[in-house]
Structure 1
Amino acid sequence: MKRFSLFIALALLVVVQQTATAQQRPNFLVIQCDDLGYGDLECYGHPAIKTPNLNRLASQGVRFTSCYSAAPVCSPSRAGLVTGQTPTQVGIYDWIPGGSPMHVQASEITVAKLLKEAGYHTGLFGKWHCNGMFNSPQQPQPGDLGFEYWFATQNNASPSHEKPVNFVRNGEKVGPTSDFSCQVVAGEAGHWLEEIQDDGKPFFALVTFHEPHEPIASPDDLVKTYPDADKKGEALYYANVTNMDRAVGRLMQTIDKLGLADDTLVLFTSDNGPETLNRYPNAWRSHGSPGPLRGMKLHIYEGGIRVPGIARFPGKLEAGTESDVPVCSLDILPTFCELAGAEIPAGAKLDGTSLVGLMRGEPIERAKPLFWHYYRAFHNAKVAVRDGDWKLVALWDQGEVKPGAAYHKGDYSKIKDAKFTAFELYNLTEDIGETKDVSADHPEIVGRLKKALLEKYDEATANAPDWFAEAK
């Protein structure tokens, strides 16, 4: 594949945005998987999993090699995507169990709200996981955060991916379904796309597949295509990713059939790195791969946050190319809003950066480095920043906090009072696997990035809510 600066190749989009009428502005389709690892796709080097539709999508557009999620775990990652803010800043510290007081508040700006206000149709299809009291007036629901139409679950597809029964459509329970979750979601999104086509408005659709998160279930015909997968649950996992790939193919066929391909920017990505096999008993089917990266889901190292990323926009993005420019799901809100002509409120504390400047051949001008925080990350590495080639990882003084247990009483003080006692520095261009800490060799870089990291940490935690205090 040819390498190039991705967003330079997007230069024609600026002309489109500056001259288009409301009806001609770009459509946006974001497809997000759940626990899909950096190395889980055929076009990212997986030796066994077949993903022909995503291979085709990559051949039609751009494959990111430094694409990041907002966090190494589901709810914070999703909150970051929809708000454009570091998840800690909006109070989403960990995954959200059912009944939890934690939620994205109605006062937050979201990409769906801003695009809706600018005249876009907005729809959500799949996993929501941005509140604990799902489909309840006690907390904001997708419709309160800008999605005019929503077909979603609170967290996982239940009882598994096969024939889930827990979808809700615009506040009404759907009941039993008759297919695998990704196909149910793709079918609903396709139906919505066909319905809105005659309206003349541009659209923003957020499609959030449950696959390949546990509890995994996969079609038998696909499981049988992996006879050489001899580890327990391995064929189920591989088939699960391939079934998701089929669902992506359905969506692309719908876009193409409706004549929307040339007017639609499609982004495909994942919410975090792959699940580990040894975290809990039901994870025996989780055979995801971080590829060459260190760590997996729940790690602040690259395997937890660097994810697949593919973009397609025929005629605007050069087909069959790749980019190593660091980009993040936090960038979606400011980038989409600029392309759509949607106004971002003055004083919004965004952590993402509009990438439209690069469409004019300019480098990304980030006011601050990319930043990640997850207080329950494995070991003591809890915070990181990336600036260009360099990544600084911060270790805290609060001791080990068990990963994956969700946010509990007493955790707030750990987050607010944390002190960082050691720092690791990696050159990701030379050492993608983060195998060599070079902090001793570059004290000036450590000092600069440490200052930026601590300043952002203080900013992110300054007004972060204590959910259990507020629930009293």
Structure 2
Amino acid sequence: MFNRVLLATIVLLGWSQQSLIGSERPNFLVILCDDLGYGDLGCYGSESIRTPHLDKLASQGIRLTDCYSASPLCSPARAGLLTGRTPSRTGIYSWIAEGNPMNLKRDEKTIATLLKAANYDTCHVGKWHLNGKFNHPDQTQPDDHGFDHWFATQNNASPTHKNPKNFVRNGKEVGDQKGYSCQLVADEAIDWLEKRKQRDNPFFMFVCFHEPHEPIDSPDEMVAAYPDAEKRGEALYYANVTNMDSAVGRLMKKLDELKINEETLVIFTSDNGPETLNRYKSAWRSHGSSGPLRGMKLHVYEGGIRVPGIIRWTEKVQAGQTSAEPVSGVDFLPTLCELAGVDVPKSKPLDGTSIANLLSGKQVERHKPLFWHYFGGTGNRQVALREGDWKVVARWDGPANMPVGGSLKRGVVPLLKASKLDHFELYHISEDISEKKDVSQQFPDRLQSLSSKAQNLYQEVLAEGPIWFK
């Protein structure tokens, strides 16, 4: 009894860095949503959407107020998360349309590749969206990037989240399924956990829900639970998030049942901000919220890149925390590798920083500023950089009519490689979360310092990125 009390006291005071790493390597469960907005969860202030399981998850660990995706749209965000590198370095410049030559190249080291080499079991379930030729030998697939088991779609669940027909399991088409995408993804994850042969091995599982990306469909009983919604599209969206929340709850319950809760680090986040209502024909259900943030998906303003972020590691990380430490998807690879005792490769530039210090209540030592690039950014704002409490936003000096939201087309990358940044805006982001006041005139020295760093990173990143179209 005394030992249990002593242990609990140690936990509440915060574990040391050495105890976090320790001799027992943790399991990793990374859950990624699609187009979930900063303001879409109860624990992030939503008064419209009920998310009891994620609210509970946040109460059990660290709720990040300054969590960022690696990009303001899907495919690049996933590339950045898996590689720890600014997505344009890897050639994932935009979302990947079916048949597009963009794919995560074979020589890119992913979290799964590195952990698998260290005897981790690896599993990917849900949306992949890192190639244009899905399940085709011409491009890399999930197993080429370290995943032992995969159950995935190229992009969205089709025809909708209900009864999708486009899942592939380990290279074989699954065909018609009954149920909703998030629950089918949770089913597969749970089945894999239960049937793992090497139970003594730690695991890395990457769960990528399609929700709440269009084309949205939700269970009737959950839609009916939102009678106050002003439009059917709102009720469908709210229910979609609630359905995803229930799938997260099932995963957490399974960790408890398998008695692996305590040794599993769980990270929950989103690939970018919420979709804009009616931006395209089928987006009439996209009622996501970026809360107090400026912009939405496709913006390098906060609404496009700042997302919900929750970290839980039962009895290793103190519960009930809220942290304003800036954290990005590119930080996941160095963090998980450090906690697993795996060396991070140095053959290519890494942009992320290990946030293992954050888990034990210490400050993160970031050696590079956070950086975002998207050539189709809304309002021709293509680049953002954050360092400490400050953020710059910039456009390029190329054509101002670059198509917004499109996949990569011939001729774009050469234009980018020949371009430079101009028209910098400066925000004191820790005090101006809504980016209402450009303070570039008041702080010229700060503007000069950050714009110079952004310009240099822009040139460096694009110099490395491949040209897909010859």
TM-score range normalised by the length of the shorter chain: over 0.9
- TM-score if structure 2 supplies the norm length? 0.95
State the secondary structure of the residue aligned to 1:254: helix
Between the aligned partners of 1:415 and 1:224, the Cα distance in structure 2 is 48
Q: How does 1:376-387 map to 2 (within 5 A)?
A: 376-387=376-387
State the secondary structure of the residue aligned to 2:157: coil
State the secondary structure of the residue aligned to 2:364: coil
TM-superposed CA distance for 1:198, in Å, is 5.1
Deviations 1:387-432 (A, max 9, x none): 1110001122221212112110111122112222211000111110
Letter in 1 for 2:208: T
Deviations 1:219-272 (A, max 9, x none): 000000001101241100000000000000010011111001100000000000
Between the aligned partners of 2:345 and 2:12, the Cα distance in structure 1 is 29
Between the aligned partners of 1:259 and 1:18, the Cα distance in structure 2 is 20
Q: Residues 268 and 363 of structure 1: is their aligned pair in 2 closer, same or farther, counting only changes over 3 Å?
A: same
Aligned twin of 1:249 = 249
Letter in 1 for 2:287: H
Q: How does 1:344-363 map to 2 (within 5 A)?
A: 344-358=344-358, 362-363=362-363
Aligned twin of 2:66 = 66
Aligned twin of 2:18 = 15
CA contact 1:276–1:296 (8 Å) conserved in 2: yes
Aligned twin of 2:215 = 215
TM-superposed CA distance for 1:448, in Å, is 1.0
TM-superposed CA distance for 1:349, in Å, is 1.0
Q: Residues 406 and 18 of structure 1: is their aligned pair in 2 closer, same or farther, counting only changes over 3 Å?
A: closer
CA contact 1:13–1:339 (8 Å) conserved in 2: no
Structure 1 vs Structure 2: percent identity of aligned residues? 57
Aligned twin of 1:5 = none
CA contact 1:10–1:359 (8 Å) conserved in 2: no
- TM-score if structure 1 supplies the norm length? 0.95
State the secondary structure of the residue aligned to 2:379: coil
Deviations 1:94-131 (A, max 9, x none): 00011111000010111110011111001000000000
Aligned twin of 2:298 = 298
State the secondary structure of the residue aligned to 1:162: coil
Aligned twin of 1:54 = 54
Q: Residues 232 and 415 of structure 1: is their aligned pair in 2 closer, same or farther, counting only changes over 3 Å?
A: farther
- What CA RMSD, in Å, does the superposition of the two structures yield over aligned residues? 1.5
State the secondary structure of the residue aligned to 2:196: helix
Q: Residues 11 and 196 of structure 1: is their aligned pair in 2 closer, same or farther, counting only changes over 3 Å?
A: farther
Q: How does 1:49-448 map to 2 (within 5 A)?
A: 49-196=49-196, 199-358=199-358, 362-398=362-398, 399-448=400-449
Aligned twin of 2:5 = none
CA contact 1:84–1:334 (8 Å) conserved in 2: yes
Between the aligned partners of 1:358 and 1:59, the Cα distance in structure 2 is 16
Q: Residues 197 and 227 of structure 1: is their aligned pair in 2 closer, same or farther, counting only changes over 3 Å?
A: farther
Letter in 2 for 1:90: T
Deviations 1:112-161 (A, max 9, x none): 10011111001000000000000010011000001111000000000000
Letter in 1 for 2:183: Q
CA contact 2:131–2:141 (8 Å) conserved in 1: yes
Structure 1: unaligned runs, 5 residues or longer: 1-7
Q: How many residues are treated as equivalent by the alignment?
A: 459
Between the aligned partners of 2:197 and 2:428, the Cα distance in structure 1 is 47
Between the aligned partners of 2:127 and 2:12, the Cα distance in structure 1 is 32
Structure 1, 401-410 or 298-307: larger mean CA deviation: 401-410
Between the aligned partners of 1:197 and 1:429, the Cα distance in structure 2 is 47
Deviations 1:249-301 (A, max 9, x none): 01001111100110000000000000001311110000000000000000010
Between the aligned partners of 1:359 and 1:217, the Cα distance in structure 2 is 37
Between the aligned partners of 2:374 and 2:361, the Cα distance in structure 1 is 34
CA contact 1:126–1:209 (8 Å) conserved in 2: yes
